[in-house]
Amino acid sequence: MHVLLVAGARPNFMKVAPVLAATVARGARATLVHTGQHYDEAMSGVFFAELGLPTPDHALAVGPGTHAEQTARAMTAFEPLLAIAEPDVVVVFGDVNSTLACAIVAAKHGAAVAHVEAGLRSRDWTMPEEVNRVVVDRVSDQLFATSADAADNLRAEGYGGERIHLVGNVMVDTLLTHLPAARGGPTLARLGLTAGGYGLVTLHRPANVDDEVVLARLLDALGTVAAACPLVFPAHPRTAARLRGRLPTGITLLPPAGYRDFIALQAGARLVLTDSGGVQEETTVLGVPCLTLRDTTERPVTVTEGTNVLVGRDPDRIVAAARAALADPPAPRRPALWDGRAGERIAEILIPGPGPAGSAGPSGTRQRIPTERTLVNTYGEQSGAPM
């Protein structure tokens, strides 16, 4: 069995790591492709080093660009590679442009496609990631959901139950693996911080940082919060250039943090303010109060069963929610199956039969996953020809 895994941007690397490890442990051949959507040491290299990821078998050097440019470059680079690699299954992660590009190419090539983090829906079509999520699920054969609400979304859209697998959250696998070292590491001391003595900020959604007026209002709100609780802000490259020279007092700008540093910063924070998807999930597991500066979330389980509060972009609302969270932090809870074993569950489904390496069955046996990419409408009729 040959499993090809695609990673491209920062939030992919911590998701691919546990699935790759579990794939290899089950005796399958694994090929790792890095599209190069993210390429800086701080956005890519540091994660390979810290997460113990191998050098990618193929690096596509896609780089930045408009959505069409970036997606097209990933597609044209991935297509010939796939024709040579001929994997049994292509595994894509999350909702970034690299995920979309490689899922479409794999589906048209006739490869089986597995989507890790399927079924998340913000229902906000202005988010490029929402377009990616819906399209990737539509061309995927196996849909691995992190939470029951995501599996419900897929069923409501007509996906057959045999393709939907509620497996838990691979991002949490990686978090739990690295948390002890992160907590015990030098991050806070190096930055002159003490646990519980600061808040943490990340912002990179175009809707928040590309619009001058919205960004100014968010910075006003953050400045008010910082008067009560100093804030550290490791800034995504999209955001960093826009912040220079205009940060309110009490906010310390940092470069994008490495994985362990960032986990340590989250774990020690009194409060996190973010528009990241993954950070909503990690703060839930860490039991750290999280305010999400967006109007929607594709991860509602972090609100219903975690520490996340959706506060939108209105400064007064953000400041009021921050005061409430500082005064009365929510009790930590954790969604079902966010237990550190999601990668293993995925590998067991992708690579049926043999157990971990050593007890492996016949290698090289092609075990194609069924490719019935049909939807069932609400009347129980099938729609959409198999692709």
Question: From the DSSP assignment, how many helices (H) and strands (E) are in the chain?
Answer: 16, 15
Q: Choosing among ligand UDP, ligand UD1, none, which partner's interface includes residue 296 (Cβ < 5 to 8 Å by kind)?
A: none
Residue 133 interacting with ligand UDP (CB under 6 A): no
Annotated active-site residue in 38, 115, 204, 236: 204
Q: Choosing among ligand UDP, ligand UD1, none, which partner's interface includes residue 279 (Cβ < 5 to 8 Å by kind)?
A: ligand UDP
Decide: 311 and 293 in contact? Cβ < 8 Å: yes
Residue 56 interacting with ligand UDP (CB under 6 A): no
Q: How far apart are CA 256 and CA 376, in angstroms?
A: 43
Residue 193 interacting with ligand UDP (CB under 6 A): no
What are the angstrom distances between the C-alpha of 8 and each of 45, 63, 202, 242, 364? 11, 9, 20, 24, 27
What are the angstrom distances between the C-alpha of 33 and each of 5, 15, 46, 88, 303? 6, 14, 17, 15, 33
Residue 11 interacting with ligand UDP (CB under 6 A): yes
**Nearest to residue 90, comparing CAs of 72, 68, 74, 67?**
74
**Nearest to residue 252, comparing CAs of 201, 178, 218?**
201
Q: How far apart are CA 274 and CA 233, in angstroms?
A: 10
Site for ligand UDP in 217-246 (CB under 6 A): 234
Residue 278 interacting with ligand UDP (CB under 6 A): yes
Residue 116 Cβ vs ligand UDP, minimum distance, rounded to whole Å: 13
Q: Which residues bind ligand UD1 (CB under 6 A)?
A: 9-11, 37-40, 43-44, 64, 70, 95-97, 128-129, 204, 236-238
- Cα 299 to its chain centre, rounded Å, is 11
Q: Choosing among ligand UDP, ligand UD1, none, which partner's interface includes residue 282 (Cβ < 5 to 8 Å by kind)?
A: ligand UDP
Q: Choosing among ligand UD1, ligand UDP, none, which partner's interface includes residue 97 (Cβ < 5 to 8 Å by kind)?
A: ligand UD1
Q: Answer yes or no: 204 catalytic.
A: yes
**Catalytic (active-site) positions:** 204
User: Which residues would be at the binding site for ligand UDP (CB under 6 A)?
Assistant: 10-11, 14, 171, 202, 234, 256-257, 259, 262-263, 276-279, 282
